[in-house]
Amino acid sequence: MEEHKSTAGQGLGIAGLVMGIMAIPMGIIPCTFYIGVIFGIIGIVLSLVALSQAKRGFGPKTLIIAALICSIIGLTFASVVGFTITRHGAHIIREIIDNNVNKDEIYNDIRKGAKDALDDLENDTAAWEEQSPDNLKNMTDTLKTLEGESETPEE
C-alpha cells in the first residue's frame, strides 16, 4: 500500500512558525513579553492542530515540528522575562529609589516648584489687576468705535 503525500497542515504549520518566530524576540524584549506570551500560545495551538492534520493526511511534519519548537522557545523566553520583571522588577526599582534618591530632596523640590508656581500666579494676577482699568477703558473705546462704524444712518 502506497502512502500519498499531501500538504495537510502546512498552512497552519507556517502560521505557527511565524507566530513562534515572532514570539522569540517579543519574549526577550522586556516591554513586549506579554505579546510574546500571546504569540507563543497561539503558535503552539496552531502547530498542534497542524500536526494533527498532517498525521491524518499523511503530510510532512518537519515544518510543523519546527513551528512547535519555535513557539515553545518563544513562550519560555516570554514567561521567564515576564516572571523576572513582575516578580523582581518592582523590588529592584524600589531598592534603587530607596538607596540612591533622598526622598526629602524630592519632596523639597516639589514644594519649591509649587511655591514658585503660586508666586508667579499671584504676580501675574496682581499685574493684571493693575492694568485692568486701562484695559477695560481701551476695550470700551474700541467697542464704541466699532459700534459707531457699524451703525447705518436711518433714513
Distance CA 111, CA 107 (A): 6
Dihedral sign, CA of 59, 62, 67, 73?
positive
C-alpha cell at 35: 505579546
Residue 107, all three cell numbers: 519632596
Mean pLDDT, rounded, for 85-101: 65
pTM score: 0.55
Cβ contacts of residue 88 below 8 Å, gap of 6+?
A: none
Residue ranges per structural domain of the chain: 7-88, 97-143
- φ/ψ of 6, rounded to 5, equals -135, 180
Top pLDDT among 7 and 90 is at 7
Of these ranges, 72-76, 105-109, 131-135, the one predicted with the greatest mean pLDDT is 72-76
2's grid cell? 502506497
How many Å apart are CA 21 and CA 28, to the nearest integer? 12
Q: What is the DSSP letter of 29?
A: S
User: DSSP code of 31?
Assistant: G
Cell of 73: 522557545
* Dihedral angle computed from the Cα positions of residues 89, 94, 96 and 99, in that order, rounded to the nearest 10 degrees: -150
Q: Map residue 61 onto helix, strand or coil.
A: coil
Q: What pLDDT sits at residue 149?
A: 62
Which carries the bigger pLDDT value, residue 108 or residue 100?
A: 108
CA distance 127 to 40: 63
- In the predicted model, is pLDDT for residue 9 greater than 70? yes
Q: Are 14 and 63 contacting, i.e. CB atoms less than 8 angstroms apart?
A: yes
